[in-house]
């Protein structure tokens, strides 16, 4: 800790952490079906569940919401 109570970060450790996080994200994405990837990408772009449901063939927006919750 420094004089202000903040922890000092080791730059090497920060880079290693970033690499691990990126690898974890890539592994997670690889585990998803194409449909789930599409749903999450659309949601991350701010598309409403109603529009996601239509785009991927779900009959109701609640089905899209449930799938988003399960995957997330």
Structural domain boundaries in the chain:
11-71
Buried (b) or exposed (e) across 33-64, using 16+ Cβ within 10 A? eeebeebbebbeeeeebeebbeeeebeeeeeb
Residue spans of the chain under pLDDT 50? none
Using CA atoms, how far apart are residues 15 and 53, in angstroms rounded to an integer?
Answer: 39
Using CA atoms, how far apart are residues 50 and 18, in angstroms rounded to an integer?
Answer: 35
pLDDT for 56: 94
Using CA atoms, how far apart are residues 68 and 55, in angstroms rounded to an integer?
Answer: 14
């Amino acid at each position: 800790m420094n004089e202000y109570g903040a922890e000092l970060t080791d730059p090497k450790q920060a880079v290693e952490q970033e690499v691990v996080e990126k690898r974890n994200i890539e592994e997670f994405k690889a585990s998803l079906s194409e449909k789930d990837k599409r749903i999450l990408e659309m949601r991350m772009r701010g598309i409403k569940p109603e529009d996601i449901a239509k785009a991927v063939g779900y009959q109701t927006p609640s089905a899209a919401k449930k799938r988003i919750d399960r995957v997330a």
